[in-house]
């Protein structure tokens, strides 16, 4: 009996010794261990392609890393932008057990592109939904940036990137303080562009808790700072509106589907948009005075045809934009100035 008790006690001691290490291994996040796609080193090559303040950058988001993204990247590559900004939700799950597979899928599908073009990232909710800290760590490791709130400059412009708030507050205090600091030297630049995954204005599928369509303190700071344009994703459709003297864009169809336009009643005069009709029967493309197109909505088959990217062209003090779908058709084309919608003729293939 004493020998039996001794053996049981020894077994329990062994289990107690092993258990903490096993639990630690189980709790440890599986962080991204693959290549880092830091955009900063590629900006010198982008600068060498510029002899003056004339350059183009592409803006798109919400792909979830899926295979359709590749077709969009091929179209963007054919147009040879100087650099790119991704607007977030480039993976479906940025944290949790399946995160390594998700980041690997994005690397496999888009790594060739991110090695060729400086690709500046914006963090989205899908990167951090399952575990904020783990998702943020993966995001920083994958893209090689030091923070989710950051800024960079190129030629005559400044680019300000805002992150994802842990509590989904509409005006996170740290984000507002960061934005104000970065806008303090506004007079040094011809243009300032701001990027955030969650939009400030929408007529799409997101409700007022996420997108209030109101002049928040962040919007007021951008207005006071004479921001040229603001770019977001999150709501999966195309939108261009001008509010408080600022051009706001949603570029959210890089492979993650197209959402219904459930808040059409909140549009402003002159808005352009592409999305699924509220009754989910059609895809609607509307450009004031030029295009009203209605296509049958057939789910993923239709959505994959509607992948698009913005192309922003800077030429000194002048900024123009094209909205181009993956087939190469230009849906919308206009000048971004202080006057609302100084439109140019649109090319329609």
Architecture field, domain 45-340:
4-Layer Sandwich (3.60)
Could you read off the pLDDT of 111-140 as tens digits, one per residue? 999 999 999 999 999 999 999 999 999 999
E strands along 155-265, which residues? Answer: 157-162, 191-196, 229-232, 238-243, 246-251
Residue 179 has pLDDT above 90, yes or no: yes
Q: How far is 171 from 162, CA to CA, in rounded Å?
A: 11
Alpha-helical segments (H) within 184-263: 217-224
Residue 32 token pair: 């991204």
The model's pTM is 0.89
Pairing status of strand 157-162 against strand 150-154: antiparallel
Q: How far is 30 from 137, CA to CA, in rounded Å?
A: 10
CA distances from 274 to 29, 67, 237 (A): 39, 22, 6
Percentage of residues of the chain with pLDDT beyond 70: 88
Name the band, by pLDDT with cuts 50, 70 and 90, for residue 299. confident
Closest CA to 97 of 64, 138, 62, 63: 138
Cβ atoms of 200 and 211 within 8 Å: the answer is yes
The strand order across the sheet containing 342-343 reads 119-121, 83-86, 54-60, 308-315, 318-325, 330-336, 342-343
The separation between CA 17 and the C-alpha centre of its own chain, rounded to angstroms, equals: 46
Mean pLDDT of 264-292: 95
Q: How far is 73 from 114, CA to CA, in rounded Å?
A: 10
Q: How far is 296 from 206, CA to CA, in rounded Å?
A: 23
> What is the predicted pLDDT for the residue at 9?
55
Q: How far is 292 from 254, CA to CA, in rounded Å?
A: 22
């Amino acid at each position: 009996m004493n020998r039996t008790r001794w053996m049981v006690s020894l077994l329990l001691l062994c289990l107690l010794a092993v258990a903490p290490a096993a639990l630690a291994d189980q709790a440890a996040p599986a962080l991204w261990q693959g290549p880092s796609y830091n955009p900063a080193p590629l900006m010198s090559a982008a600068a060498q392609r510029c002899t003056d303040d004339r350059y183009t950058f592409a803006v798109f988001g919400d792909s979830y890393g899926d295979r359709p993204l590749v077709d969009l990247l091929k179209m963007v590559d054919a147009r040879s932008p100087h650099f790119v900004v991704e607007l977030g939700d480039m993976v479906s799950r940025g944290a949790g057990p399946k995160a390594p597979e998700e980041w690997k899928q994005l690397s496999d599908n888009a790594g060739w592109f991110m090695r060729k073009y400086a690709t500046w990232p914006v963090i989205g909710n899908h990167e951090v939904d399952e575990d904020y800290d783990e998702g943020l760590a993966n995001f920083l490791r994958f893209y090689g940036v030091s923070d989710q709130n950051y800024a960079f400059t190129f030629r005559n412009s400044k680019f300000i990137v805002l992150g994802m708030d842990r509590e989904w507050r509409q005006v996170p205090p740290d984000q507002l303080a960061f934005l104000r600091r970065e806008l303090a030297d506004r007079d040094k630049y011809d243009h300032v562009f701001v990027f955030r995954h969650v939009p400030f204005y929408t007529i799409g599928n997101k409700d007022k808790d996420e997108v209030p369509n109101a002049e928040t303190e962040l919007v007021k700071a951008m207005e006071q700072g004479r921001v040229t344009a603001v770019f977001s994703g999150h709501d999966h459709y195309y939108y261009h509106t001008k509010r408080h003297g600022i051009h706001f864009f949603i570029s959210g169809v890089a492979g993650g589907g197209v959402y219904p336009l459930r808040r059409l009643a909140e549009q402003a005069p002159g808005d352009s948009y592409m999305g699924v009709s509220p009754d989910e029967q059609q895809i609607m493309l509307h450009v004031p005075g030029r295009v009203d197109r209605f296509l049958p909505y057939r789910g993923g088959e239709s959505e994959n045809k509607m992948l698009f990217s913005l192309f922003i062209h800077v030429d000194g003090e002048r900024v123009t934009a094209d909205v181009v779908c993956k087939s190469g058709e230009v849906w919308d084309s206009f000048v971004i100035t202080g006057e609302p919608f100084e439109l140019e003729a649109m090319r329609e293939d």
